Amino acid sequence: MSSTYHEEYAEGLLDHARKELLAISAATEINVHEVPGAFEIPLVVQAIARAGNVDAIIAFGLIMEGQTAHATLISTAVTDGLMRIALMTGIPVVHEVLVVINEEQARARCIDDQLNRGTEAARVAMRMAQVMDEFSTEAGR
Amino acid sequence: MSSTYHEEYAEGLLDHARKELLAISAATEINVHEVPGAFEIPLVVQAIARAGNVDAIIAFGLIMEGQTAHATLISTAVTDGLMRIALMTGIPVVHEVLVVINEEQARARCIDDQLNRGTEAARVAMRMAQVMDEFSTEAGR
Amino acid sequence: MSSTYHEEYAEGLLDHARKELLAISAATEINVHEVPGAFEIPLVVQAIARAGNVDAIIAFGLIMEGQTAHATLISTAVTDGLMRIALMTGIPVVHEVLVVINEEQARARCIDDQLNRGTEAARVAMRMAQVMDEFSTEAGR
Amino acid sequence: MSSTYHEEYAEGLLDHARKELLAISAATEINVHEVPGAFEIPLVVQAIARAGNVDAIIAFGLIMEGQTAHATLISTAVTDGLMRIALMTGIPVVHEVLVVINEEQARARCIDDQLNRGTEAARVAMRMAQVMDEFSTEAGR
Amino acid sequence: MSSTYHEEYAEGLLDHARKELLAISAATEINVHEVPGAFEIPLVVQAIARAGNVDAIIAFGLIMEGQTAHATLISTAVTDGLMRIALMTGIPVVHEVLVVINEEQARARCIDDQLNRGTEAARVAMRMAQVMDEFSTEAGR
């Protein structure tokens, strides 16, 4: 999932995540859902989690801090929402809704390779899918 | 919905939203509910959501930061409330309860055309109605 | 309801609210419950809301910021509590638990006429009672 | 209840509270439970509330702000937890988990007589027990 | 449990905790689960709590504050999540997801002996297991 607000950065995150997910396992099935704004991310994440058949969800987004408190309000509510969805559904939700203060920070995290949060998110998602799978296997025995 | 506290700005947001909603689809049905203060917004949004028959709700409001912590407290609780209503009802709630520090910021976001949050909100609402509709269609199949 | 901690200010808020409530409608029935501290307000508001037969609740209180983080912690939890009670019960809860940094701010909001939050609260409460009544009338049809 | 982390201050709060509780009513029954850290307070408060047979709970604790954000994180979660327990159980929970920045602040609030939060807490607890009792009496009629 | 993000520090916490747990009671049974990031900690803690057969859970993690608001967002949501899991399951969850601003702070809390949070966490966990056990014993009588 990616917020369409900052198209280029979202694409950067998505490309890096896709590449890493397939590098870890070539058979990884990836579905992408776009949402029009950051505040809307949790509602769509919840819909995906409830539709079932996913091992993990990565929430990508980019919030640029502006002149008002809006970015802080939105990012806090989104973070809280993602946590609650994970706890309610038991499905790992990787939080990559980034808050940045300028284009340079956005570029470093979304487009460049070194600190890319997309790559990082892919690894966390794959690992968490495995961790949670072990719990449900134990519970099923 | 709009807080009546800062009448002129609320009207600016509403007019821009209405224009954009009808530009996207001339058949859009729009209902407006007024609330007397920002803290009251979530309760009315929840009542609208529960009454059913809406595809999305836009919450407009304007909170002017003053000399006390009141604006921060209210805006945080409103943001949290709107998120929880969206997650509980599954109906998109577009958050446009803006926190500004002066008239200039309010004017730019509510009355002027360029950064108008009403126009932005309309686009997000229309897109989210579509996104959520796809999920319920899939679930219904 | 009023916190007894800062008696004089609480009385100022209450007097202004009572006067305005009766000015809007002479038949308004007003019940006052006192609580010994700000953190205790939500519990009593919840008890009032659950006892039924109220159209709106106004929560008055005054928190003076001191040398520690206590005021911020308490006011945040109170705000959050009031919002949750409103959303859970469907009864409007007007938030007038004010956080001030000195006597001058308290006086302007609680005792003086011009910015009096008691007067403001009365208007919001009366208007919200009407707004929510329309929703329940529609739901009942 | 008292956090054992800062023994001397906790004892100061407890002694003042005990003295005031018995001064208000010599028949007051007081039970003390110790918890090893501030973050653990809500869990034990909840256990006490659920065990029943209490009219009010006072949560004493002292969090010393350090070089990291830990104190803020913990105190916010504790405050939120105590509020939720009060609202869920209907039992008054007096919040005296204090956040201080130095020994002087701690001493003034916990050990000295003038601003002692233990004395204050005792009065709030006794008053709240009475307030809530009136609600349940009305509900029972 | 430990976040694998800062391997060396997590190991330091874990070693100190293990040593202290066994010093308090040589028969202590210790299970370790690794999670790939701090935001993922609550989901795994919840899975452990629900799987049952634990007396207490210690959540170790290290969040390094960076140039963006990410650390604050994540640490707040994690703290809130851990509190809610403890209150929901009744199992003590010791919060040692530390937020630091530099390597020096991390080293002092995770690797050095004097202020080691692992040692501290072990004591809190052992004590809390005992405290909660007393409550359930009383409830069972």
% of chain D with per-residue pLDDT over 70: 94
Question: What is the band of B141 on the pLDDT scale with cuts at 50, 70, 90?
Answer: low
User: Does the pLDDT at position A2 exceed 60?
Assistant: no
Question: What is the band of A141 on the pLDDT scale with cuts at 50, 70, 90?
Answer: low
Evaluate whether chains D and B are touching (3 or more beta carbon pairs less than 8 Å apart): no
Q: How far apart are CA C34 and CA B46, in angstroms?
A: 29
Q: How far apart are CA D43 and CA E99, in angstroms?
A: 23
In chain E, what residues touch D85 (CB-CB under 8 Å)?
87
When pLDDT is averaged across residues A104-128 and rounded to a whole number, the result is 95
User: Does the pLDDT at position C2 exceed 50?
Assistant: no
Question: What is the band of B29 on the pLDDT scale with cuts at 50, 70, 90?
Answer: very high
User: Does the pLDDT at position B2 exceed 50?
Assistant: no
**Active-site choice (D6, D16, D33, D70):** D70
User: Does the pLDDT at position D31 exceed 70?
Assistant: yes
Cα–Cα distances in angstroms (integers) from residue A96 to residues A25, A59, A107, A110, B45, in the given order: 21, 6, 14, 10, 28
In chain C, what residues touch B70 (CB-CB under 8 Å)?
98-99
Residue with tokens 């409460």: C125
Q: Give pLDDT, residue D111.
A: 94
User: Does the pLDDT at position E2 exceed 80?
Assistant: no
The predicted-structure confidence for C35-44, as pLDDT tens digits, reads as follows: 999 999 999 9
User: Does the pLDDT at position B3 exceed 60?
Assistant: no
CB pairs under 8 A between A and B: 75
Question: What is the band of A102 on the pLDDT scale with cuts at 50, 70, 90?
Answer: very high
Q: Give pLDDT, residue A4.
A: 47
Query: Does the annotation count E70 as an active-site position?
Result: yes
Q: How far apart are CA B65 and CA B69, in angstroms?
A: 8
| ipTM of the shown complex | 0.92
Q: Give pLDDT, residue E99.
A: 93
Task: Confirm if E111 and E12 have CB atoms less than 8 A apart.
Answer: yes
Question: What is the band of D22 on the pLDDT scale with cuts at 50, 70, 90?
Answer: very high
C99 CA to chain D: closest CA distance, Å? 17
Average pLDDT along chain D: 92
Q: Give pLDDT, residue D140.
A: 64
Mention every residue, 6+ apart, whose C-beta is less than 8 A from residue D11. Answer: D2
CA B62 to chain centre: 11
D92 CA to chain C: closest CA distance, Å? 7
Element holding E98 (H helix, E strand): strand E93-100
Handedness of CA C108, C110, C112, C118 (dihedral sign): positive
DSSP code at position A64: E
When pLDDT is averaged across residues E74-103 and rounded to a whole number, the result is 96
What is the bridge-based pairing of β-strands A2-3 and A34-35? Answer: parallel
Chain E interface, best mutation among A21, A128, A132, by max E CB count within 10 A: A128
When pLDDT is averaged across residues C15-30 and rounded to a whole number, the result is 97
Which candidate from C39, C51, C80 shows the least CB-CB separation from D138? Answer: C51
Mention every residue, 6+ apart, whose C-beta is less than 8 A from residue C27. Answer: none
Task: Confirm if C120 and C24 have CB atoms less than 8 A apart.
Answer: no
% of chain E with per-residue pLDDT over 70: 94
User: Does the pLDDT at position B137 exceed 90?
Assistant: no
Q: In this complex, do C36 and D86 lie within 8 Å of one another by their Cβ atoms? A: no
Neighbouring chains to A with at least 3 Cβ pairs closer than 8 Å: B, E
Q: Which two tokens stand for residue D111?
A: 């050990």
Q: How far apart are CA E32 and CA E15, in angstroms?
A: 11
Element holding D3 (H helix, E strand): strand D2-3
Residue with tokens 């003053």: B66
Chain B interface, best mutation among C74, C87, C100, by max B CB count within 10 A: C87
Task: Confirm if D98 and D106 have CB atoms less than 8 A apart.
Answer: yes
In chain E, what residues touch D54 (CB-CB under 8 Å)?
none
Which candidate from A72, A87, A105 shows the least CB-CB separation from E81? Answer: A87
DSSP code at position A28: -
When pLDDT is averaged across residues D127-134 and rounded to a whole number, the result is 96
Average pLDDT along chain A: 92
Task: Confirm if B62 and B27 have CB atoms less than 8 A apart.
Answer: no
User: Does the pLDDT at position A1 exceed 50?
Assistant: no
Q: What is the CATH number of the domain that holds B9?
A: 3.40.50.960
When pLDDT is averaged across residues B20-39 and rounded to a whole number, the result is 96
When pLDDT is averaged across residues D95-121 and rounded to a whole number, the result is 94
Q: What secondary structure does DSSP assign to C11-51, as a single string?
A: HHHHHHHHHHHHHH-TT------EESSGGGHHHHHHHHHHH
D21 sits in the region (left: phi over 0; alpha: psi -120 to 50; else beta) called: alpha
When pLDDT is averaged across residues C90-112 and rounded to a whole number, the result is 94
Residue with tokens 């990082």: A120
User: Does the pLDDT at position A127 exceed 90?
Assistant: yes
Q: How far apart are CA C74 and CA C69, in angstroms?
A: 9
pTM: 0.94
Q: Give pLDDT, residue E127.
A: 98
When pLDDT is averaged across residues B103-129 and rounded to a whole number, the result is 95
Residue in chain D nearest C88 by alpha carbon: D87
Q: How crowded is residue D5: how many other Cβ atoms within 10 Å of its Cβ?
A: 17
Neighbouring chains to D with at least 3 Cβ pairs closer than 8 Å: C, E
Evaluate whether chains C and B are touching (3 or more beta carbon pairs less than 8 Å apart): yes
The predicted-structure confidence for D43-96, as pLDDT tens digits, reads as follows: 999 999 999 899 999 999 999 988 888 999 999 999 999 999 999 999 999 999
Q: Give pLDDT, residue B20.
A: 98
In chain D, what residues touch C35 (CB-CB under 8 Å)?
127-128, 131
User: Does the pLDDT at position B14 exceed 90?
Assistant: yes
Q: How far apart are CA B78 and CA B75, in angstroms?
A: 5
In chain A, what residues touch E69 (CB-CB under 8 Å)?
65, 72, 75, 99
Q: Which two tokens stand for residue E74?
A: 């994540």
User: Does the pLDDT at position C127 exceed 60?
Assistant: yes
Residue numbers of the domain that contains B13: 2-140
SS percent in chain B: helix, strand, coil, step 5: 60, 15, 25
Question: What is the band of B4 on the pLDDT scale with cuts at 50, 70, 90?
Answer: very low
Residue in chain E nearest A122 by alpha carbon: E36
E34 CA to chain D: closest CA distance, Å? 22
Q: In this complex, do A37 and B94 lie within 8 Å of one another by their Cβ atoms? A: yes
Question: What is the band of D138 on the pLDDT scale with cuts at 50, 70, 90?
Answer: confident
Residue in chain D nearest C51 by alpha carbon: D139
User: Which sequence positions of C are flagged as catalytic?
Assistant: 70
Q: How far apart are CA D109 and CA D4, in angstroms?
A: 17
The greatest distance separating any two alpha carbons of chain A, rounded to the nearest whole angstrom, comes to 54
Average pLDDT along chain E: 92
In chain C, what residues touch D90 (CB-CB under 8 Å)?
43, 46-47
Q: Which of B15-29, B62-76, B87-101 has the lowest mean pLDDT?
A: B62-76
Query: Residue A47, exposed/middle/buried by CB under 10 A (0-12, 13-18, 19+)?
Result: buried
Task: Confirm if C21 and C56 have CB atoms less than 8 A apart.
Answer: no
Q: Work out how many domains chain B is built from and give that number.
A: 1
Mention every residue, 6+ apart, whose C-beta is less than 8 A from residue B87. Answer: A42, A43, A46, A81, A84, A85
Mention every residue, 6+ apart, whose C-beta is less than 8 A from residue B108. Answer: B114, B115
Residues in chain B whose Cβ is within 8 Å of chain C: 33-37, 39-40, 42-44, 46-48, 51, 67-70, 73-74, 76-78, 80-81, 84-85
Question: What is the band of B7 on the pLDDT scale with cuts at 50, 70, 90?
Answer: confident
The predicted-structure confidence for A32-65, as pLDDT tens digits, reads as follows: 999 999 999 999 999 999 998 999 999 999 999 8
When pLDDT is averaged across residues C66-87 and rounded to a whole number, the result is 94
When pLDDT is averaged across residues C79-94 and rounded to a whole number, the result is 98
